[in-house]
A and B are shown apart, each in its own frame.
Chain A
Amino acid sequence: MPGNSILGVFAKSPIKPIEEHINTVHQASERLLPFFAAVYNNDWDLAEKLHKEISEIEKEADVLKRDIRLQLPSGIFMPVERTDLLELITQQDKIANKAKDISGRVYGRRLEIPAQIQVDFKLYVQRCIDAVEQSRKAINEFDELLETSFSGREIDIVEKMISELDAIEDDTDSMQIELRKSLQTFEKDLNPIDVMFIYDIINWVGGLADEAERVGARLELMLAR
């Protein structure tokens, strides 16, 4: 920054980094698809490799998160509330953590998904990742939001995206209920401890969609000022 100039007034924009962060988070959750494919095939070497990848991407997301926090000291004036932005980034980061937890637990216990629910489970994971993808889309509207100074038409577009996100999350809830039901019909044939863990994993995968929905909710709160 040239000292004798007013350009120091312009702080580094947090918008690009926020978009970058959600993209990274989305990458981490997307890796769950090949990960579970490996799990169905009992290919534990590949599963390990993918779990390591997810951990790596989660670390990247953490670095991005920290950078954003550091470049937003108080005294930065933005069109949106600083606290909102910081909470949004925290919420986004939870998605990556969730993805890492899921792959870590499944790989750590060599947990097999029973053949009877594999088809439904596959669709369920896909739908939950759709929710993350939708939240990514909404967050990537940030620079357009800035272009229209957070008002008018662009807000409507983002609102539509967020309600779409809510709809996807609803889907995942009903899928989750179905999955539990089917699992219950044959759970007594399986190792009880494994069953407990499968219930957990079903829960956690649903958690991806929940966290994604909360990202949308945070964004909505930010725009509702």
Chain B
Amino acid sequence: MDLLQTYGFMLIVFAAVVGFFMAWGIGANDVANAMGTSVGSKALTIKQAIIIAMIFEFAGAYLAGGEVTSTIRKGIIDTAPFVPLPEYLVLGMISALMAAGTWLAVASYLGWPVSTTHSIVGAIIGFAVVAIGVEAVSWGKVGGIVGSWIVTPALSGILAYFIFVSAQKLIFDTDEPLKNAKRYVPVYMGLAGFILSLVTIKKGLKHVVKSGDLSISNTEAYIYAALVAVVIALIGKFFISRVKIDPAADKEMHYNNVEKIFAILMVVTACCMAFAHGSNDVANAIGPLAAVVNVIQNDGEIAKKAELAWWILPLGGLGIVAGLALFGHRVMATIGKGITHLTPSRGFAAELAAASTVVIASGAGLPISTTQTLVGAVLGVGLARGIAALNLGVVRNIVVSWVVTLPVGAGLAIIFFLMLKAILL
């Protein structure tokens, strides 16, 4: 107990630094996943992708990142056994951050695709089991989270399949694909805007605007979201009207101009993807930090209902943006080589489906893996016969790395926890 009073401020600073480092790693590494399809299909240049990612990752983290943060903070473990031992919770959360951060750094160095979500969840389970015992983990919750790792890729795959097939039916397989593209693409833009704004209004804003003075009824939320959707669709329509239709391009391939219109849609879905990624993954970095801050500011009391400190969400958002700014370029530069025939009309379906799934899951407070939803979505488009070639071997490797990440994250967290305990207690 005296540990928290004596070193409280230092512990917060330390946790904030580690949390920031973790957010920074998310920004540096995961940006390739979130923005890769846009860059790969040549709808965006690397520079544009980085700028979009910076703005929308931060917006997503700040406006809609609160819900998942709460789950990471108090959903995975049962805080009741920690009440007599608040310092265990503080040290444990710090070790979880260190473990996940270390594992991400190692994996990036070795070039393995790992999920930040998996590593942090594994780490939190790991320290809880060592600190208190098996009963400290809310296994039901964890089961739900792990279950969602299987359900969400499937969901986003199904979504991607139907979005893609709808685009085929409405636009590509018609007499006048170009005319129909101009007509229906704004609808897809509106759809993307609707889902994003709805979840932000319903779930995200209450963490930003402190409770009480924000009461939006369901109907109002839908109305606002619909308004945003219409605005986005109109803006999209304006930009589509400015696309240079090049009749000569159709000699090579008569869908060239249609793809140009989809490239504009891709800009919108890329924004969505960045927003979704920010809202979902920022929690992995700052959830444990929020827990640490709570315990220390309440003098070791583990409160059931605790507010997020005001500075935590922006800190995570800034961390992601910093990672993007410093390393995003390097990661992005490797994209787009060797990806052939990934056209905007395919990329958009995968991105829209993945972003929607992530945003909906974030709204439900589930920490899911952005990468997983994206892989699911890509496979969905593939099953709709939309992608020229998919490498199932790589899919297998990615899945294996996810499975490995859980026990590794747990193991590392245990080591760090025991070390901190030996040093400080």
Contacts and interface: CB of A to CB of B under 8 A. Distances in A.
- Specify which of A4, A77, A79, A143 lies most central, judged by the most chain B CB atoms within 10 Å of its CB: A4
Interface stretch (B43-51, B111-119, B186-194, B214-222): B111-119
A4 B390 contact: no
Question: What is the size category of the interface that chain B forms with chain A?
Answer: 35 or more
A9 B112 contact: no
Interface string A141-158: 001101111111110000
A118 B125 CA distance: 86
Interface stretch (A12-20, A39-47, A96-104): A12-20
B172 A6 contact: no
B390 A11 contact: yes
Contact of A5 (B33, B173, B340, B386): B33
A149 B394 contact: no
B184 interface: no
Contact of B388 (A2, A8, A14): A14
A79 B341 contact: no
Interface string A1-33: 111111111111111100000000000000000
A117 interface: no
A3 B338 CA distance: 14
Nearest to A76: B389
Contacts of B164: 149
B110 interface: yes
Nearest to A15: B388
B391 A8 contact: yes
A192 interface: no
Interface stretch (B81-89, B371-379, B406-414, B417-425): B371-379
B181 to A, nearest CB: 12
Interface string B108-131: 101111100000000000000000
B387 interface: yes
Contacts of A78: 388-390
Contacts of A153: 173-175
A151 B331 CA distance: 37
A136 B230 CA distance: 46
B210 interface: no
A77 B394 CA distance: 11
B398 A6 contact: yes
Given A2-B331, A148-B172, A148-B173, A10 B345 contact: no
B247 interface: no
A77 B341 contact: no
Interface in B382-400: 382, 384-395, 397-398
A153 B334 CA distance: 37
B389 A6 contact: no
B192 to A, nearest CB: 20
Contacts of A72: 389
A12 B340 contact: yes
A149 B384 contact: yes
A78 to B, nearest CB: 5
A154 B112 CA distance: 40
A16 B341 contact: yes
A10 B387 CA distance: 8
Interface in B321-359: 331, 334-335, 337-343, 345
A144 B254 contact: yes
Contacts of A13: 340-341, 388-389
Contacts, number: 143
Contact of B382 (A15, A77, A150, A152): A77
B391 A75 contact: yes
A142 B113 CA distance: 33
Interface in A117-160: 143-144, 146-154
A114 B111 CA distance: 68
A10 to B, nearest CB: 5
A149 B375 contact: no
B107 interface: yes
Contact of A6 (B338, B371, B392): B371
Interface string A47-73: 000000000000000000000000010
Contact of B394 (A9, A16, A79): A9
A6 B388 contact: no
Given A3-B108, A16-B340, A146 B395 contact: no
A4 B36 contact: no
A151 B334 contact: no
A143 B331 CA distance: 29
A140 to B, nearest CB: 9
B138 interface: no
B173 A10 contact: no
Contact of A4 (B114, B339, B384): B114
B392 A76 contact: yes
A218 to B, nearest CB: 18
Contact of A2 (B111, B253, B254): B111
A93 to B, nearest CB: 20
B270 to A, nearest CB: 14
A5 B32 contact: yes
Nearest to B345: A147
A75 B36 CA distance: 22
A10 B37 CA distance: 10
B168 A149 contact: yes
- Specify which of B32, B108, B345 lies most central, judged by the most chain A CB atoms within 10 Å of its CB: B32
Given A13-B341, A148-B172, 7 more contacts: A4-B112, A8-B394, A9-B391, A10-B338, A13-B340, A79-B385, A149-B386
14 contacts: A4-B108, A4-B111, A5-B331, A10-B378, A12-B389, A13-B389, A14-B388, A16-B340, A16-B341, A147-B172, A149-B384, A149-B385, A152-B168, A152-B172
Pairs of residues from A and B, 8 with the lowest C-beta to C-beta distance, nearest first: A3-B111, A152-B173, A13-B388, A79-B385, A5-B32, A13-B341, A11-B389, A11-B391
Interface of B: 29-30, 32-33, 36-37, 40, 107-108, 110-114, 164, 168, 172-175, 253-255, 258, 331, 334-335, 337-343, 345, 371, 374-375, 378, 382, 384-395, 397-398
